[in-house]
Amino acid sequence: MILAGGSGERLSLLVAERAKPAVPFAGRYRIIDFTLSNCVNSGIFRVAVLTQYNPRSLVDHLGIGRPWDLDRASGGLTVLQPYLSRTRKGWYLGTADAIYQNLYYVEDNRVDQVVILGGDHIYTMRYDYMVAAHRQKNADVTVGVIEVKPEDAGRMGTVVTDRNDRIVGFEEKVENPKTNLASMGIYVFNKQTLIDCLEEDSKLASSKHDFGRDILPRNLEKCKIFAYHFHGYWRDVGTVEAYWQANMDLIVDLPDFNLYDPENTVRTVYLDAPPAKAGPNARISRSLISHGCIINGRVENSVLSPGVYVEEGASVVDSVIFDEATIDRHSAANRAIVDKYAWIGEGAIVGAGDDLTPSFDEPDHLHSGITLVGKGARVPAGTTVGRNCKIGCWVEPGDYAGNVVPSGGCIESKKARRHRV
């Protein structure tokens, strides 16, 4: 059961028109591809994806599950969306409520364990090893955990274990946690334990219906809950800076996260496009360039998705560029994330100067110097856009008040539009 319905609001414009698991990553992938690939690499071919927020792009990407070998007559991929009925009242209220509202799917399957996953993390992992450890310890619940930097632990849910790795305490995003052992949001439940816990939780008006905050802490004494230690690369890309950094992690000489491991292949939807092409004046260094790209300018320390066009004299540095975006002649993108179909006009600069004034609209989300250009947005020729700026989705030249957007500034579209996936 893959939870893929969160809004991921800390990703700002990147989730304005898509769910967080559908955000492009590493050029050719979507974030959910990593969880789905982990499933099939672990021999799990009965997979349900629970959607809610902005699901159109995600559902379009999932299709019938063919890229992950999940287009099967028995089992395979099932997309579970919120629905109304005589007994259903509305949207999912939390991670646990999302599973509870779809318990019929769990009950109808003849299984002993249920693996519950988030669809918004970057990692490769063999879930079958975790299930084997769960069975070996005769656990009721097993929680995937990873050691994180002490300064990062306060942003996550952490666990306290005894010497046998049985969990004896949970702390949900506290200022000074007792441990740096973070929950990965990966759970293995015995089927009946899951049903009993969710049935009990559904009757509690005070509950937030969340696994980490409610279900697991409440059942520490009643259930045998163990930790399963994961020692590989794992990133929660829940913020703009974390997302940008995870992309940058891939372009170093020996990255911690190996996309080229044949034993942990990451699968995605195949895009029929020609090879990437570099022109006579192209300069490309330490970057990921996807198929269909045409590079006539300079690309350095960047990640380019399929179909990106970097024209003569243009430069892309320390940036992530999504599908079919155009960086026009003599323009520049510096420490920027440019969404699909966007156009940076001739001579325009996105990410200019050293002024790191936080975003006026989202100071908590945009403060590290990264500028966002939304889906389908157009930056007029000759325009200078500073740091920590937001150029909203489908913005047009007429939406700008002048040819300078100061650091921390925001440009919004004045018209409502219907958009492509």
Question: 149 falls in which pLDDT band (50, 70, 90)?
Answer: confident
- Residues in CB range of 300: below 8 A, 6 or more apart: 283, 284, 285, 286, 287, 315, 316, 317, 318
Give the confidence band of 89 by pLDDT, cuts at 50, 70, 90.
Answer: low
Q: What is the mean pLDDT of the chain?
A: 93
CA distance 372 to 351: 9
Question: pLDDT band at residue 165, thresholds of 50, 70 and 90?
Answer: very high
* Alpha-carbon torsion (98, 101, 102, 103), positive or negative: positive
- Stated as kind and residue range, the H or E segment containing 99 is helix 95-100
* pLDDT confidence tier of residue 271, bands split at 50, 70 and 90: confident
Lowest mean pLDDT among 121-125, 153-157, 314-318: 153-157
Mean pLDDT of all residues in 150-155: 80
pLDDT at 88 over 80: no
Contacts of 104 (CB under 8 A, 6+ apart): none
Kindly report, residue by residue over 322-371, the tens digit of the pLDDT: 999 999 999 999 999 999 999 999 999 999 999 999 999 999 999 999 99
Of the pLDDT bands very low, low, confident and very high (cuts 50, 70, 90), residue 142 is very high
Q: What are the DSSP calls for 191-258, one per residue?
A: HHHHHHHHHHHHT-TT----IIIIIHHHTTTTS-EEEEE--S-EEE--SHHHHHHHHHGGGSSS-SS-
**Residue written as token pair 């591809």:** 33
- Residues 326 and 297: beta-carbon distance below 8 Å: no
Domains delineated in the chain: 2-251 (3.90.550.10), 272-421 (2.160.10.10)
The amino acid present at 400, given as its one-letter code, is Y
Written as one letter, the residue type at 322 is F
28 contacts: CB under 8 Å, gap ≥ 6: 268, 271, 290, 291, 305, 306
Residue 399 — φ and ψ, nearest 5°? -85, -10
Tokens 């929660």 belong to which residue? 236
| pLDDT score for 90 | 74
pLDDT for the residue numbered 87: 65
Task: Categorize the per-residue pLDDT at 297 as very low, low, confident or very high, splitting at 50, 70 and 90.
Answer: very high
User: Which pLDDT score, from 0 to 100, does residue 262 have?
Assistant: 86
Residue 280 reports pLDDT greater than 90: yes
pLDDT-based confidence at residue 23 (cuts at 50, 70, 90): very high
pLDDT at 160: 92
Nearest-angstrom CA–CA distance, 159 and 61: 34
CB distance 16 to 55 below 8 Å: no
For residue 219, what are its two tokens?
A: 């059942």
- pLDDT for res 176: 80
Check residue 130 and give its pLDDT.
98
As a whole number of angstroms, the distance between CA 273 and CA 286 comes to: 22
pLDDT range class, residue 8, cuts 50, 70, 90: confident
pLDDT band at 417 (very low <50, low <70, confident <90, very high): low
Amino acid at 394: W
Find the range with the poorest average confidence among 97-101, 118-122, 161-165, 258-262.
258-262
CA atoms of 116 and 96, how far apart (whole Å): 10
Token pair for residue 314? 């243009």
Residue 25 pLDDT more than 90?
Answer: yes
DSSP structural state of residue 291: T
Q: Please check whether residue 331 is in contact with residue 314, taking contact to mean a CB–CB distance below 8 angstroms.
A: yes
Q: Each residue of 190-235: pLDDT tens digit?
A: 999 999 999 999 999 889 999 988 999 999 999 999 999 999 999 9
Please tell me the number of Cα atoms within 13 Å of 376 on its side-chain side.
15
